[in-house]
Amino acid sequence: MITLGHYLLVSGILFTIGFAGVMLRRNIIIIFMSLELMLNAANLSLVAFSRFRIQANGLPDYNAQVFVFFIITVAAAEVAVGLAIIVALYRARQTTHVEDISSLKF
């Protein structure tokens, strides 16, 4: 029997994977993908919650789904801007590696 907990766990794992990716990978593009993973993990939980909380009118709580909608939009916009920055970086430095962009420090 599938409970709310299962979904939350899956989303949690996904979130963690994403975070691990941010911490472990050095390729900025992949880091960016990992960030997407984290956002979607959040989405999964949200949807799960919305499904779990049946409203009085017997429908799922659509507020959460609206929020998911917003998150997806924001994520998309973020990807656009982020990739633009990355491209600019690549033009300037011919690299997408985090080690290569550590001139500002201390």
Binding to another protein by CB under 8 A, coded x per residue (else -) over 58-97, reads xxxxxxxxxxxxxxxxxxxxxxxxxxxxxxxxx-xx--xx
How far, in whole angstroms, is CA 26 from its chain's centroid? 17
Supply the angle between the helices 4-24 and 28-52 in degrees, to the nearest 10: 170
Number of residues that bind another protein (CB under 8 A): 98
Rounded Cα distance, 97 and 92, in Å: 13
Q: Kindly state whether residue 56 participates in binding another protein, applying the rule CB under 8 A.
A: no
Binding to another protein by CB under 8 A, coded x per residue (else -) over 2-31, reads xxxxxxxxx-xxxxxxxxxxxxxxxxxxxx
Q: What is the closest distance, in whole angstroms, from the C-beta atom of residue 55 to another protein in the complex?
A: 10
